[in-house]
A and B are shown apart, each in its own frame.
Chain A
Amino acid sequence: MIANGISRRRFGGFVLGAATLLAVPGARAAAGPTVIQNVSYDPTREFYRAYNALFAERHAAGGGAALDIRMSHGGSGKQARSVIDGLEADVVTLALASDIDAIADHGLIAEDWQSRLPDNSAPYTSTIVFLVRKGNPKGIASWDDLTRDGVEVVTPNPKTSGGARWNYLAAWAHVVAGGGGAADARAFLARLFGNVPVLDTGARGATTTFVQRGIGDVLLAWENEAFLALKELGPGDFEIVVPALSILAEPPVAVVDKVVEARGTRALAEAYLRGLYTPEAQALAAENYYRPRLPEVAARYADAFPDVKRVTIDDPMFGGWRKTQAEHFGEGGVFDQIYRPR
């Protein structure tokens, strides 16, 4: 919030100079690296608002200039595409590694980005849980309940939403971990998506559909989104159900090499991302319902996060994001086949 004040004051001049922007695009960065732009996905708004204030404060305390940290939020895939198309992001903080892979494939980020920071470059993790209506009237306790007749499931579209891909993969993991084969998993997902009345394009849209419009019996959601919805939209109206098995969702972060080199912001951008691993930032993540990585912080917030067995994307059943993305979510992939007319 402190940081945003500057952008507003600059904005008046920016408006007047809308035309001159064509001529002097580098003008904003000319005064030294005091502006960084973080292109992120939808559910991180609250967390990064808090973290940006913390980082700017820390930076000023260390003798740095006042910072202007700009945020852009949207669906993870759409944001990645904007960066590929030229949106100047110093750092990207997205929902899935495959979205950052896509940016790397276009030469904007080094191929080894995921090993440059600890923990697969994912400073916080999450998982997929169920949000049900008060009293859990349909008695939903496990993934199997989602495929019952008469149960309506709300999830966004895996094609357009990163969170929805985790939803899909968690359901897949449930079948395979229970001893099923790929064909069983396919059939299970076809039944599950047969129970979906609305496919919103993003996670926030799906939450709104479930909570505000009263559609569906269960919402598949990021754990952090479920907690937030509970807090913001109606404590007492909803309950969180945690399945016995879910997926380890790792929303990764990366410095966009091409951009920081052009703008001279590498040091600042790297410090910004490294700062996410500090105890204070980890505590902020936990308070915004992301599971922290640092063991000491995780221990402090252990009560807040229920125990759940979490399958990773590198498990042999998936074989990493690159393979999974092409096989399940690419054009004509497994997800598309669910909706093929037979």
Chain B
Amino acid sequence: MLMAIGGRRHPRVIPGFGVTIGFTLAYLGLIVLVPLGALVAKAAELGPGGIWAVATDARVFAALRLSFGASLAAAAINAVFGLLLAWVLVRYRFPGRRLVDALIDLPFALPTAVAGITLATLYAGNGWVGGLFAGDGWLGALFGPDGLKIAYTPLGVVVALVFVGLPFVVRTVQPVLADFDAESEEAAASLGASRFATFRRVVLPAILPALTTGFAMALARAVGEYGSVIFIAGNIPMVSEIAPLLIVTRLEEYNYAGASAVATVMLAVAFVLLFAINLLQRLDRAQAS
């Protein structure tokens, strides 16, 4: 995907390593590592057995399952439609293309609480979209007499997470698709492959690493999301209660260690996810060069 020439063959020719790595580590340490260390230290007060007990508690487990399940669903939806959006943006020319391209970043910039309130307004039974799916709405009839409830169900959680995770897949796939060499497509076509077969056998394998990265980043971002979800989730324990809300609930009980334990479990999963992505990208670059 991206060229990895240079550095590797001429290590330490370029000055400034000491200063920049020193500053990077110090800044990262102060802003991220020390505070996260405090979190893990607080959770450690419970001991490994205590943390395990928290992570496997039925209610915590249900919340983690919802958080990860809804995030997986949202990331999967965004993987499909993100690929489609990237394809249309890179391969086709149409008026307003740059405007559409710019809009993709909106979920990064819109405050999550605003997104949550707005989505709840739209998807509640009396909202613009929720009304369509209500029992008397013209799409709701497809789902039986009661229609389809979106807001205040796990479905609402997925809606919010789809919004939050939309940019990731588009933004990772787009550059790879733009750089993709048309010659191999032409070769495949000249050998008689259909358009779809060419896509599946030639294009898809090339963009798969980027697609996976985008999927995993959307997933990682969605798992921890709070502001936009809390307004639309319903927050019923065992049904529509997300893991970050459990952290807040523990805090309300002045149970800092319990809150930290749930947070540590989520943190560990996020770290493993991200580390896997970065290793994947590194392998991918090594392969490319």
Q: Give A residues with C-beta under 8 Å from B.
A: 75, 77-78, 81, 84, 102, 157, 159-160, 196-201, 205, 209, 212-215, 329-331, 336, 339-341
Taking the closest CB of chain A, its distance from the CB of B262, in whole angstroms, is: 12
Whether B125 and A213, one on each chain, are in contact in the complex, defined by CB atoms closer than 8 angstroms, is: yes
Task: State A341–B253 Cα separation when bound (angstroms).
Answer: 21
Chain B binding surface, main DSSP class? loop
Query: Could you tell me if A213 and B252 are in contact, using CB atoms closer than 8 angstroms?
Result: no
Residues of B within 8 A of A (CB): 58-59, 120-121, 124-127, 151-152, 230-231, 234-238, 241, 245, 248-255, 258
Name the residue on A nearest B233 (C-beta).
Answer: A198
State whether B252 touches A199 (Cβ < 8 A): no
- If A214-B126, A339-B237 touch, whether A77 touches B255 (CB-CB below 8 Å) is no
CA of A102 to CA of B152, assembled, Å: 32
Nearest residue (CB) in B for A75 is B252
B252 partner residues in chain A, CB cutoff 8 A: 75, 77-78, 81, 159-160
Q: Known contacts A198-B235, A213-B151; can you find 10 more A-B pairs with CB under 8 A? A: A159-B249, A159-B252, A196-B236, A197-B234, A201-B248, A209-B152, A212-B124, A213-B121, A336-B59, A339-B238
In the complex, what's the smallest C-beta–C-beta distance from B241 to chain A, in angstroms? 8
A-B contacts, 18 listed (Cβ < 8 Å): A81-B252, A81-B254, A102-B254, A197-B152, A198-B234, A198-B236, A201-B230, A201-B235, A201-B245, A212-B124, A213-B124, A214-B124, A214-B125, A214-B126, A215-B152, A331-B255, A339-B59, A341-B238
Provided the pairs A78-B252, A331-B255 are in contact, do residues A200 and B235 lie with their beta carbons within 8 angstroms?
yes
Nearest 5 CB-CB pairings of A with B: A339-B237, A213-B124, A77-B252, A214-B126, A199-B235
Q: Give A324 to B211 CA distance when docked, in angstroms.
A: 53
A197: B residues at CB distance < 8 A = 152, 234, 236
- Measured CB to CB, the closest approach of chain A to B27, in angstroms, equals 18
Question: In the complex, are the beta carbons of B234 and A160 less than 8 A apart?
Answer: no
Identify the interface centre among B151, B235, B241, B250: most chain A CB within 10 Å of its CB.
B235
